[in-house]
Amino acid sequence: MSAEVPDIDIARAITMISREDVRLLDVREDDEWEAGHAADAEHVRLGDLDVSAFAGPGTVVVTCRSGNRSRKAAAALVGAGVDAVNLDGGMKAWAEAGHPLIRDDGTPGTVV
């Protein structure tokens, strides 16, 4: 039985991550992250996720390319007692809504 994970849309995610007690977690693979990510996101590949690293107060908004891998990560977090939500549509929705993506060197990025 998997944990119930709330899906949130991009507008709600943007509102949430503007607060200090909310973390944005990107669980895509390294090449996807390197192509472009949200400026304030933390990167941990889904296969490397240690749910204990996210224990404590606050909410974790989890994202990937389209929302499928992030739903799995968010379910693992919720199952461990972490307040986590899934960004419906992932970084594709982020980019389609006109929010910036950057590469590690600060240049504009893209979703691959």
The tokens for 25 are 């977690």
pLDDT, averaged across the chain: 95
- 65-98 residues labelled b (16+ CB within 10 A) or e (exposed): bbbebbbbbbbbbbeeebebbbbbbbbebbbeee
The structural domains of the chain, ordered by start, are 7-96 (3.40.250.10)
For a pLDDT cut of 90, what percent of the chain falls above it? 96
Position 4 scores a pLDDT of 86
DSSP character at residue 40: T
Strand runs labelled E in 14-100: 22-26, 42-43, 59-63, 83-87
Question: Catalytic amino acids?
Answer: 64
Model confidence over 6-51: pLDDT tens digits? 999 999 999 999 999 999 999 999 999 999 999 999 999 999 999 9
d(CA 71, CA 54): 16
Strand runs labelled E in 1-112: 7-8, 22-26, 42-43, 59-63, 83-87
Residue 1 has pLDDT above 50, yes or no: no
Average pLDDT over every residue of 82-109: 97
Q: With beta carbons less than 8 A apart as the criterion, state whether 72 and 46 touch.
A: yes
What's the pTM value of the predicted model, to 2 decimals?
A: 0.95
